[in-house]
Amino acid sequence: METTVFILLYVILFLSTLLSYPFLRKKKRGFRIGRSKLPPGSMGWPYIGETLQLYSQDPNIFFLTKQRRYGEIFKTRILGCPCVMLASPEAARFVLVTHAHLFKPTYPRSKEEMIGPCALFFHQGDYHTRLRKLVQSSLSPDSIRKLIPDIERIALSALDSWAASRQVVNTFSEMKKFSFDVGILSIFGHLDGCYKEKLEENYRIVDKGYNSFPTRIPGSAYHKALQARKRLNQILGEIISERKEKRLVEKDLLGHLLNFKDDKGQTLSEDQIADNIIGVLFAAQDTTASVITWILKFLHDHPKLLEAVKTEQKAMQQSNNGGEGHLTWAQTRNMTLTHRVLLESLRMASIISFTFREAVVDVEYKGYLIPKGWKVMPLFRNIHHNPEFFSEPQHFDPSRFEQAAPKPNTFMPFGNGVHACPGNELAKLEALILIHHLVTQFRWEVVGSESGIQYGPFPVPQGGLPARFWKESSCPSQNMCP
């Protein structure tokens, strides 16, 4: 039903913009400022531009073809917006770091409405700076190191359930549940099970509607998501009220948000707190789940590498009384090979393929004009897969991170500048802990031979990497496990 409505609305919109194309062209001809010219490239059809080309093929091919034809800066139109795409480290640094004040973060209004307009990554300036410091302090190494025993508990519970089911599971879907549980832990600490269940139920509805067509027609995924988002606010309000009544002083993210006061003694409103909690959950879940799924895929496809990772992790296990003790922060910092596998998985998969910014004034870059209001997209994926910076970029090779660090601005898996992901240390810690327990106590087999990448919107192995898991102790002989 929803798909039919989407197609019908899309056709109507396309036809209406097609009829107005002569007027759009007349307006466009008069556009020039100074001596600067627009970057090369094709804007495609009226309004829809090259959206269909982008979403009907592998984005790797789309972006690379553009770069080969036009160079490292080119224009296009995506989702109704004129865009300038930038595929060089220098350009990414220009937009995200040195001249970040000329470009603001931008998201479709429907996305802001779903997460909440007060979420920190929709903002610039003092408000963003204050909120970012709060989030960073709650997700700093000193804070998250205390979460290791609980993250281990969540990881082992998930792995045990997959193995006990003896069923093929969608790895990406299961990793989303795992990263959601860790996200709840980092935000609320030990949350009452009733609250957690309500949050998860409504968050799933919001998550499903987040990338759907933004129509408010009752029954549509987007409309259901908006209703669930309102319920999330109510649930978070109850949690906040309970914590205030009990006068609990916690050092989790909620505690940091509740205890914040600015220079004038102003505290955050409940809406501001709720929007930033939902924002952190969104930022943490899909991206972390995606990279862990890719790690399993790459290890499965490289048996010798998997054995080397097992050797490293079993040594850690033995030093912890044969696995009876908890991992320590120092041990997670000393997983040398596993950490390189993590970094190479981030590079290969490029979970964040690009980011959106919007020019707040007319900007000139390398002789080209970036008009005010145009979207600007630094292409992390193109940079990560450029043979100039990474030899044989399509080859999975963790050893490339063994010696010298990548050149500046060539490896940006968590973004760059003031809007870089503040939770990157937690994401890496989650991955390392889960991999430790997976390779030391379990085995897994990828089911089916289907290869490729699917985007929704983050890249994951085709089909979410269907896999079957076994407890290693339940394999009396080598032939009974993959």
What is the DSSP secondary structure assignment for residue 45, as one 8-state letter? B
- Residue 352's identity, in one-letter code, is I
Per-residue pLDDT tens over the stretch 207-233:
988 877 778 899 999 999 999 999 999
- Calculate the alpha carbon distances from 46 to 15, 54, 81, 298 in Å: 10, 15, 10, 41
Helices 424-441 and 336-349, axial angle in degrees (round to 10) = 120
More confident call, 110 vs 312: 312
**30: which 2 tokens?**
């008069």
Tell me the pLDDT band of 167, cut-offs 50, 70 and 90.
Answer: very high
**411: which 2 tokens?**
């490896």
The pLDDT assigned to 354 comes to 87
Pairwise CA distance, residues 252 & 35, whole Å: 53
Which range scores top for mean pLDDT: 167-176, 280-289, 412-421? 167-176
The pTM for the full model equals 0.87
Mean pLDDT of 65-70: 90
Mean pLDDT of 358-383: 94
* Residue whose entry in the numeric block shows the structure tokens 């979403």: 55
Per-residue pLDDT tens over the stretch 235-247:
999 999 998 887 7
Percent of the chain's residues with pLDDT above 70: 89
**423: which 2 tokens?**
């939770």
- Which residue ranges make up the annotated binding site for heme? 421
Q: Residue 158: is its pLDDT beyond 60?
A: yes
The pLDDT assigned to 251 comes to 80
Which range scores top for mean pLDDT: 9-13, 212-216, 445-449? 445-449
Per-residue pLDDT tens over the stretch 246-266:
776 678 899 999 988 888 888
Q: Residue 404: is its pLDDT beyond 50?
A: yes
Mean pLDDT of 347-358: 90
Mean pLDDT of 270-293: 92
Pairwise CA distance, residues 253 & 137, whole Å: 8
Residue 457, preceding peptide bond in cis (omega within 30° of 0): yes
Per-residue pLDDT tens over the stretch 15-62:
444 444 444 443 333 334 456 799 999 888 877 788 777 766 676 788
Mean pLDDT of 319-323: 79
Pairwise CA distance, residues 129 & 227, whole Å: 30
Q: Measured in whole angstroms, how far is the alpha carbon of residue 277 from the centre of its chain?
A: 16
Pairwise CA distance, residues 90 & 410, whole Å: 9
The pLDDT assigned to 456 comes to 67
Mean pLDDT of 361-387: 94
Which range scores top for mean pLDDT: 19-33, 59-73, 397-411? 397-411
Pairwise CA distance, residues 60 & 67, whole Å: 11
Tell me the pLDDT band of 419, cut-offs 50, 70 and 90.
Answer: confident
Coil, strand, or helix at residue 198?
Answer: helix
The pLDDT assigned to 474 comes to 63
Q: Which of 154-158, 244-248, 352-356, 422-426 has the lowest mean pLDDT?
A: 244-248
* CB proximity list for 60: less than 8 A, separation 6 or greater: 381, 385, 453
309, 439 contact by CB (below 8 A): yes
- Per-domain residue ranges for the chain? 1-30
**76: which 2 tokens?**
């296009």
The pLDDT assigned to 427 comes to 95
Tell me the pLDDT band of 401, cut-offs 50, 70 and 90.
Answer: very high
Tell me the pLDDT band of 11, cut-offs 50, 70 and 90.
Answer: very low
473, 323 contact by CB (below 8 A): no
Q: What residues form DSSP beta bridges with 169? A: 467
The pLDDT assigned to 7 comes to 40
Per-residue pLDDT tens over the stretch 94-107:
999 999 999 998 87
- Which residue ranges make up the annotated binding site? 421
Tell me the pLDDT band of 482, cut-offs 50, 70 and 90.
Answer: low
More confident call, 338 vs 138: 338
